[in-house]
Structure 1
Amino acid sequence: MTQVVDSATSLRVEYRGAVAVLTIDRASRRNAVDLPTARAIARALDDLDGRDELRAAVLTGSGGTFCAGMDLKALTTTGERPIDEQRGPFGIVGRPPRKPIIAAVEGAAVGGGFEIVLSCDLVVAAEGATFGLPEVRRGLLAAGGGLFRLPARIPRNIAMEAILTGRPLPAARCAELGLVNRVVPDGEALAAAVELAEVIASNAPLAVQGSKAVVGESADWPLAELFDRQEPFADAVRRSADAREGAAAFLEKRAPRWQAR
């Protein structure tokens, strides 16, 4: 089933079982994001987080391009920056969803488009995809998270080169650096990302969300406190009905029936 959230924002949302597929559909603008689109992305992520039957999401762009970042024409015309009040720039980079989200990248993911990718948990890229932060070439800073998320994902010196030169990185190089999970033939990124999302969605949802939360939050935890701080997350999952169901399904040699509770 496909649901268009708001035709004016050019964001399409399709539900494929437990996976939500979000497509920025502004091909004439290279899928650059204006304020209405940022707000639509944010609301789609609110919907993802709020519905138990949805377990993961894929974010992609239409027309062979992922996203060219901020819509500068819209900014010049309206003076509005694409910053959602709750989820920040582009409707995602300030507060990504609690549930896993995969970027499916065809073509260019540059500027804010790359920062959107860096807000996702996993990345599937077509062979012809490119990733870059060209802001320094325009007299700007990559202020949507690129300056701290990219050095956290790849070696610092390589991140610094990409940031300070503004030169793009091809998909194959990003895979070598561990930034991209899969490189697939052009035109196949969405299908491969959905397949990966379906594997994630087949697992216990509370365990998946708890695992993502620990990975995200533990980066700031002192070494001596790691296990103590992890315990509330682990205990909540351990006490869940899904944990009991997982054990029962294993013993009974059947597929588990998750309830997200």
Structure 2
Amino acid sequence: MSAGFDRRLTPATERVALESLRGRLARPAYTAGRPARLAVPVADLCRAPQGTRDRQVNFGADLVVIDQQDGWAFVQAMADGYCGWLRAEALEHDLPQVTHRVSAPATHVYSGPDLKTPETMALSLGARLSVTGVQGGFARLARGGWVPEQHIADQPAPDPAAVAETLLGTPYLWGGNSRCGIDCSGLAQGALMACAIACPGDSDMQQAGFPPVEGEIRRGDLLFWPGHVAMALDALRMIHATAFAMAVIIEPIADAMARIDAAGQGPFGGARRPPAGACAPFP
């Protein structure tokens, strides 16, 4: 990647770049990109085909396909601009209107509008759905399957901290963005985006993307250390996904500060305050 471009947010491979980069980033070819949507419950965004995971995207995520190689597709996520490689077979190109998101920590897609029918997949918080109707308390999906109506929403949640609390106990997973596994920045992003608050994918981007807190820490503020982010539940407690417990936990802010400093993983980088209300498209 050329100097001055963040690899994670640059829609370009060594072979091709998105047309918007023409004249700014030299590549052999340029493309307008092809719209796509994730059709599997969750997928890794990898640094290279068969490479290491940087982040994840959830079912229904809108993507732009920029390059393809050996069954892999290089994509950019529309929600936060994050780029990476994923399996091309995980994509679909029929794009019905998205009407809802999964608002529960997790849910199942059933083969029929009945809780006794076989489930076909599990979805996580934030999965985007195209609902075409409701029957017996189940929402029918355009691509097939039924989801409990109680687990979806067509309006954003009001409180990111309350959303984060629903993920308490979720296993820690580096780069994770789902109920199956989540990391610190994935938790912050998932909680904020459930409230229609735009949020970058990684903690350094999040720290740079929100204004510093002046005065007392309050509910919903993001707290930063090198490579780590937590969300304040109030002036004294925070919730975060941490490798210390390999899970999403709640702990006193003062205790976390002392523990992180003692481990040589500090210093505390201060607090940042995301917007208080919806400021991004939903669903």
Judging by fraction of residues, say which structure has more helix.
Answer: 1
Counting strand residues as a fraction of each chain, which structure ranks higher?
Answer: 2
Higher relative CO (Cα under 8 Å, sequence separation at least 6) belongs to 1
